[in-house]
Structure 1
Amino acid sequence: MSTRHTYRVIVRGTFEGLTGPDRERLLAEVDEHGLTAMRFTEEGSLAYDAVLKHFSFRYMVVSDPEDGDEMAAAIAEDRAERTLRDRGLPHGALRSTVTDMDTMKINYKGRRGSGAARPA
């Protein structure tokens, strides 16, 4: 049995064809969906601004590493699609960026010449 990997997936898209009521609803909730609300969670967090053009979701997806980034992206895009459909929000194509947290390298060294202290 293989170890499961945790992926952070950002799904981006553009609102298209929003109605007046759609815009009013989104603007009423805009403070709940700003930069400070962005979290990587299984259910996803939706972020957008008052311009109501672009949006993004942040998802945490746990999957088999053999399935790779493509499967994590597909799972996250499916979740985003479902959320947008359930909320009645029209949109264009979705695109994703995936990071495998289990293979990500962490550089503890400070930037060159910054004099940053190293962790103990």
Structure 2
Amino acid sequence: MSERTFRVMIRGAFDGLNEAQRAELLAEAAQHDVLFASFTREGHLTYDLTARADFTFRFLESGEAEQDIVPATARAEAAAMTWLEERGYGYKNLRSQAEDMSMAALSKRQKRARTTT
């Protein structure tokens, strides 16, 4: 069996941040800019508190079968909640979206590249 790669996005909103927490997040905002968003094993957080309280974690997970996407999503959710809770950041409206990259549709350019190699 081959290993499958899953991309998991956990979205939510910061909730009830105090001034110190807000200042801390704003000070680190450049590291969490959506322009640098990537899917990583440890999870990558993006947000823009100047625009809204929403955030997104992007995780790269793996499994051996299609049904492994469910526990992979649960691991990503748990990691995101742990990160937030360890820092005392309140959150709400968590929702998850996962994609099995082996089942993702190829773009025209990717299809052309596959047929020419």
Q: Distance in 2 between matches of 1:79 and 1:107?
A: 31
1:97-112 map, 5 Å: 97-108=97-108
Which structure has more helix as a fraction of its residues? 2
SS at match of 2:93: coil
Please show how residues 1-120 of structure 1 align to structure 2 within 5 Å: 2-51=1-50, 52-108=52-108, 118-119=112-113, 120=116
Task: Confirm or deny: 8 A CA contact 1:12 1:96 kept in the other structure.
Answer: yes
TM-aligned CA distance change 1:103 to 1:32, over 3 Å: same
Deviation at 1:53, TM superposition (A): 0.7
The answer (yes or no) to whether the contact 2:63–2:69 under 8 Å persists in 1 is: no
Determine the C-alpha separation between the residues in 1 that align with 2:85 and 2:22.
Answer: 15
Deviations 1:46-91 (A, max 9, x none): 0000335100000000123253432222111011011111222110
TM-score normalised by L of structure 1: 0.83
Gaps of 5+ in 1: 111-117
Consecutive unaligned residues in structure 2, runs of 5 or more: none
Conserved 8 A contact 1:37-1:45: no
Cα distance in 1 for partners of 2:5, 2:48 equals: 28
Q: Return the TM-score normalized by structure 2.
A: 0.84
State the distance in 1 between where 2:2 and 2:93 align.
32
Q: 1:115 — aligned with what?
A: none
**Which residue identity lines up with residue 60 of structure 2 in the other structure?**
M
Work out whether residues 13 and 92 of structure 1, in 8 Å CA contact, stay in contact via their aligned partners in 2.
yes
The number of equivalent residue pairs is 112
| 1:88 aligned counterpart, secondary structure | coil
